[in-house]
A and B are shown apart, each in its own frame.
Chain A
Amino acid sequence: MKLLNVTAGAVIAATGFCSAAFATTDLTMWYHGAGNKVEGKIVNQIIDDFNKSQSDYKVSLQSFPQNSYNGSVTAAALAGKLPDILDMDGPVMPNWAWSGYLQPLPIPQDHFKAFLPGTKGIYDGKLYSIGLWDAAVALYARKSTMKELGLRTPTLDKPWTKDEFMHALKAAKASGKFDYAIDLGMSDKSEWYSYAFLPFLQSFGGGLINRETYDSAEGVLNGKDAIAWGNWWQSLFTDKLVPGTSQDPAAHETGFIDGKYAFSWNGNWNAVKTMAKVKDVEFLPAPDFGHGSKIGAASWQFGISASSKHPEGAAEFIKFATQDKYLADFSEALGLIPATKSAAQMTQMYADGGPLAVFYGLSAAQAEKRPVTPGYVVESKVFQKAAADIADGADVTDTLDGATDQIDADIKRNDGYKTH
Chain B
Amino acid sequence: MSVIGSDNRNLRLGVRYLVLILIALIFVLPLLFMVMSSFKPSDALLRDSSSLRAFLPVGQLSLDNYTGAFERAPVGLFVFNSIFVTGTTVLLSLLICSLAGFSFVFLHWRGRDLMLSIILATFIVPFETIAIPLLLEVSKLPWLGLDGLSWGWLDSYRVQIIPWIADGLTIFLFVQYFKGLPGELIEAARVEGASWFQIYRRVVIPLSGPVIATAAILKFLVMYNQYLWPLIVVQQEQYRPVMVGLQYFFQLNPAWGEIMAYLTLITVPVLAFYLVLQKAFIASIASTGVKG
20 contacts between A and B (CB under 8 A): A34-B73, A34-B248, A35-B248, A36-B251, A65-B247, A66-B247, A67-B250, A71-B228, A72-B231, A75-B135, A79-B152, A81-B152, A81-B154, A248-B50, A249-B46, A250-B46, A250-B47, A254-B46, A267-B252, A270-B252
In the complex, A358→B232 CA distance in Å?
Answer: 41
Q: Which of B231, B235, B236, B250 contacts A66 (CB 8 A)?
A: B250
B7 at the interface (CB under 8 A from A): no
A68 at the interface (CB under 8 A from B): yes
In the complex, A186→B244 CA distance in Å?
Answer: 26
Contact of A81 with B73 at beta-carbon distance under 8 Å, contacts A67-B247, A269-B253 already known: no
In the complex, A35→B246 CA distance in Å?
Answer: 9
B132 with A78: CB separation less than 8 A: yes
Total chain A interface residues with beta-carbon distance under 8 A: 31
A78 with B43: CB separation less than 8 A: no
A111 at the interface (CB under 8 A from B): no
Most buried by B among A253, A254, A258: A253
Minimum C-beta distance from A366 to chain B (A): 21
Which B234-278 residues have C-beta < 8 A from chain A? Answer: 235-237, 244-245, 247-253
- Which residues does chain A contribute within 8 Å of B152, judged by CB atoms? 79, 81
Which B100-155 residues have C-beta < 8 A from chain A? Answer: 132, 135-136, 139, 152, 154
- Which residues does chain A contribute within 8 Å of B192, judged by CB atoms? none
7 pairs of A and B residues whose beta carbons are closest in the complex? A35-B248, A65-B247, A75-B232, A250-B46, A79-B139, A67-B247, A67-B250
Q: Which of B43, B46, B139, B251 contacts A35 (CB 8 A)?
A: B251
Q: Which of B72, B132, B236, B245 contacts A62 (CB 8 A)?
A: B236
Contact of A269 with B252 at beta-carbon distance under 8 Å, contacts A67-B247, A75-B233, A81-B235 already known: yes
Contact of A71 with B231 at beta-carbon distance under 8 Å, contacts A66-B251, A269-B253 already known: yes
In the complex, A67→B244 CA distance in Å?
Answer: 10
B49 at the interface (CB under 8 A from A): yes
Minimum C-beta distance from B146 to chain A (A): 22
A250 with B49: CB separation less than 8 A: yes
Minimum C-beta distance from B253 to chain A (A): 7
- Which residues does chain A contribute within 8 Å of B253, judged by CB atoms? 253, 269-270, 273
A63 at the interface (CB under 8 A from B): yes
Of all chain B residues, the one with the shortest Cβ separation from A33 is B251
- Which residues does chain B contribute within 8 Å of A37, judged by CB atoms? 71-72
- Which residues does chain A contribute within 8 Å of B154, judged by CB atoms? 79, 81
Which A residues form the contact surface with B (CB < 8 A)? 30, 34-37, 62-68, 71-72, 75-76, 78-81, 248-251, 253-254, 258, 267, 269-270, 273
Minimum C-beta distance from A269 to chain B (A): 5
In the complex, A267→B251 CA distance in Å?
Answer: 14
- Which residues does chain A contribute within 8 Å of B228, judged by CB atoms? 71
Minimum C-beta distance from A18 to chain B (A): 27
A76 with B235: CB separation less than 8 A: yes
Q: Which of A30, A35, A248 contacts B49 (CB 8 A)?
A: A248
Minimum C-beta distance from B44 to chain A (A): 10
Most buried by A among B50, B152, B232, B253: B232
- Which residues does chain A contribute within 8 Å of B249, judged by CB atoms? 35
A62 with B237: CB separation less than 8 A: yes
A34 with B237: CB separation less than 8 A: yes
- Which residues does chain B contribute within 8 Å of A79, judged by CB atoms? 135-136, 139, 152, 154
- Which residues does chain B contribute within 8 Å of A258, judged by CB atoms? 47
B231 with A250: CB separation less than 8 A: no
- Which residues does chain B contribute within 8 Å of A65, judged by CB atoms? 244-245, 247-248, 250
B232 with A35: CB separation less than 8 A: no
In the complex, A269→B247 CA distance in Å?
Answer: 19
In the complex, A269→B71 CA distance in Å?
Answer: 22
In the complex, A36→B152 CA distance in Å?
Answer: 30
In the complex, A273→B255 CA distance in Å?
Answer: 13
Q: Which of B72, B247, B251 contacts A68 (CB 8 A)?
A: B247
- Which residues does chain B contribute within 8 Å of A34, judged by CB atoms? 73, 237, 247-248
Minimum C-beta distance from B11 to chain A (A): 39
| CB 8 Å contact bits of B43-70 with A (1 = contact, 0 = none) | 1001101100000000000000000000
- Which residues does chain A contribute within 8 Å of B49, judged by CB atoms? 248, 250
Most buried by B among A63, A66, A78, A79: A79
In the complex, A229→B236 CA distance in Å?
Answer: 45
Contact of A71 with B232 at beta-carbon distance under 8 Å, contacts A35-B251, A80-B139, A250-B47 already known: yes
Minimum C-beta distance from B31 to chain A (A): 19
- Which residues does chain B contribute within 8 Å of A270, judged by CB atoms? 252-253
- Which residues does chain B contribute within 8 Å of A78, judged by CB atoms? 132, 135-136
In the complex, A66→B251 CA distance in Å?
Answer: 7
In the complex, A31→B232 CA distance in Å?
Answer: 16
- Which residues does chain A contribute within 8 Å of B251, judged by CB atoms? 35-36, 66
Minimum C-beta distance from A187 to chain B (A): 12
- Which residues does chain B contribute within 8 Å of A253, judged by CB atoms? 43, 46, 253
- Which residues does chain B contribute within 8 Å of A81, judged by CB atoms? 139, 152, 154, 235
In the complex, A254→B45 CA distance in Å?
Answer: 11
- Which residues does chain B contribute within 8 Å of A68, judged by CB atoms? 231, 244, 247
Of all chain A residues, the one with the shortest Cβ separation from B229 is A75
In the complex, A270→B22 CA distance in Å?
Answer: 40
In the complex, A251→B43 CA distance in Å?
Answer: 10
Most buried by A among B43, B71, B252: B252
Of all chain B residues, the one with the shortest Cβ separation from A258 is B47
- Which residues does chain A contribute within 8 Å of B135, judged by CB atoms? 75, 78-79
In the complex, A71→B31 CA distance in Å?
Answer: 30
Minimum C-beta distance from B282 to chain A (A): 36
In the complex, A72→B235 CA distance in Å?
Answer: 7
In the complex, A30→B155 CA distance in Å?
Answer: 14
Which B139-180 residues have C-beta < 8 A from chain A? Answer: 139, 152, 154
- Which residues does chain A contribute within 8 Å of B46, judged by CB atoms? 249-250, 253-254
Of all chain A residues, the one with the shortest Cβ separation from B245 is A65
